A and B are shown apart, each in its own frame.
Chain A
């Protein structure tokens, strides 16, 4: 982020009680509203404000092959597939292009810490507030590179 935000995060984290308080405040807001799982590396703004950690397999690059024809989860047939929800809402918000992004493995060290502080500290990606144009462009560039490098498949 910026020097200012990093300084703010460092100051808060110097006092563990303050860092815990901020994490608690974040939980109080995100758990009831989004069903947050406190992964500490929030991707709500990438995923149309649906928490992908609610997926039983915790897939960050979903959906798995088992989504039912009615859009429900294979593990919990009474629930909607999280990635189905993410797709539907992304379409409504005009954020479909965000779905092109590859999400890195979860850093388990950040679990149960505040995503807000982690974002200020520059440990995780900042909020994504555009329509994901850059993600799609990046994906197309990678595909062109693949085509060029391989010349053919493989």
Chain B
């Protein structure tokens, strides 16, 4: 059972992912409403897992609701809130519910969120979680026991093109791929030269041929959002050019969309980039416009027949 995202990538289409934050309440309708922004606009949507360590509806249940809303989910799973038993239990449940894309993350530290006194699990790290997921897909639990009905997974990891030192980041990327990552999603790009430097190193190792690289982009509404990320989000790099453009824009929202689509077009022309991951923060409704203006609509519709034609043997 292959996910739509996996089939899309295997067929060689330039993939588009969105991102949705689950609600901070027992509000299923909120997810179904947001699904309308993504249906037939993106190939899959990330459902975040207590992002920035703030409690929200669980990513597994939110993913189930997203499926109900007609959107293919990418289940984000962190190592912060669950040990290896709970993680594997959730993977089994998710796959049984029809969720096959999983993004394995270490997770933001508790002190960044709304329960700073919480105990962090950090039983596995993200690479060990990727390895565990790959083992489960192959029919084994982390302990080595056999899984009678194994989950069917398309496994992803995160990559930070702006992390230092670059050399070590590439080594670690290779580790994720060898552990079993089939796709990688990156931090949002606001610094094209530095991103290209990273991408050149990735291509140099041939990692773009071993995993699909989905590059993060972020439409922003104001110059403040950019400045906030530059000053407060570790591991982010924002080129001064974009700050100046947002500052001088008559309509910052329009400029934010223009910058985002411009970056998408650049990425689409970059060798080794297999798709984009659009992650507006609390501005999901802008996704359809960004996808349309970047020239990525309509999304290809794959039938199971197309899957066979694409030659996707297991």
Residues of chain A touching chain B, judged by Cβ–Cβ distance below 8 Å, are 56-69, 71, 74-75, 83-84, 87, 96, 99-100, 102-106, 108, 139, 142-143, 146-147, 150-154
Contacts and interface: CB of A to CB of B under 8 A. Distances in A.
A105 B210 contact: no
B6 A105 contact: no
Q: Which 10 A-B residue pairings sit nearest by Cβ, starting from the closest? A: A74-B234, A65-B160, A61-B127, A66-B234, A59-B125, A75-B109, A87-B168, A68-B234, A105-B128, A142-B178
17 contacts: A57-B79, A57-B107, A59-B126, A61-B126, A61-B175, A63-B168, A64-B126, A87-B165, A102-B179, A105-B123, A139-B175, A143-B177, A143-B206, A151-B313, A153-B210, A153-B211, A154-B182
B212 interface: yes
A59 B130 CA distance: 13
Given A143-B174, A147-B209, A154-B10, A67 B164 contact: yes
A34 B182 CA distance: 36
Contact of A69 (B164, B175, B179, B187): B164
Nearest to A60: B125
B21 to A, nearest CB: 18
A105 B179 CA distance: 12
B174 A105 contact: no
Contact of A63 (B84, B172, B206, B212): B172
Interface of B: 6, 9-10, 79-80, 84, 106-109, 111, 120, 122-128, 131-132, 142, 154, 158-160, 163-165, 167-168, 171-172, 174-175, 177-179, 182, 187, 206, 209-212, 234-235, 237, 274, 312-313
B128 A154 contact: no
B122 A57 contact: yes
Contacts of B172: 61-63, 99
Given A58-B122, A147-B210, 12 more contacts: A59-B106, A65-B106, A74-B235, A75-B109, A105-B84, A143-B174, A146-B178, A147-B206, A151-B313, A153-B211, A154-B6, A154-B10
Nearest to A68: B234
Given A57-B125, A87-B168, A154-B6, A143 B109 contact: no
A62 B125 contact: yes
B128 A104 contact: yes
Given A57-B106, A57-B109, A58-B125, A146 B177 contact: yes
A91 B237 CA distance: 25
A66 B79 CA distance: 15
Nearest to A67: B163
B133 to A, nearest CB: 13
A102 B10 contact: no
A134 to B, nearest CB: 15
- The interface centre, meaning the residue of B108, B132, B164, B177 with most chain A CB atoms within 10 A of its CB, is B164
Contacts of A104: 128
A147 B209 CA distance: 8
A104 B135 CA distance: 13
Contacts of A153: 9-10, 182, 209-212, 274
A67 B177 contact: no
B210 A146 contact: yes
Given A74-B109, A139-B174, A66 B235 contact: yes
Given A75-B111, A139-B174, A153-B10, A102 B234 contact: no
B209 A105 contact: no
A80 B106 CA distance: 19
- The interface centre, meaning the residue of A66, A69, A147 with most chain B CB atoms within 10 A of its CB, is A66
B120 A57 contact: yes
- The interface centre, meaning the residue of B154, B159, B210 with most chain A CB atoms within 10 A of its CB, is B210
A153 B175 CA distance: 16
A99 B111 CA distance: 29
B88 to A, nearest CB: 12
Contacts of A150: 210
- The interface centre, meaning the residue of B126, B142, B178 with most chain A CB atoms within 10 A of its CB, is B178
B3 to A, nearest CB: 11
Nearest to B180: A146
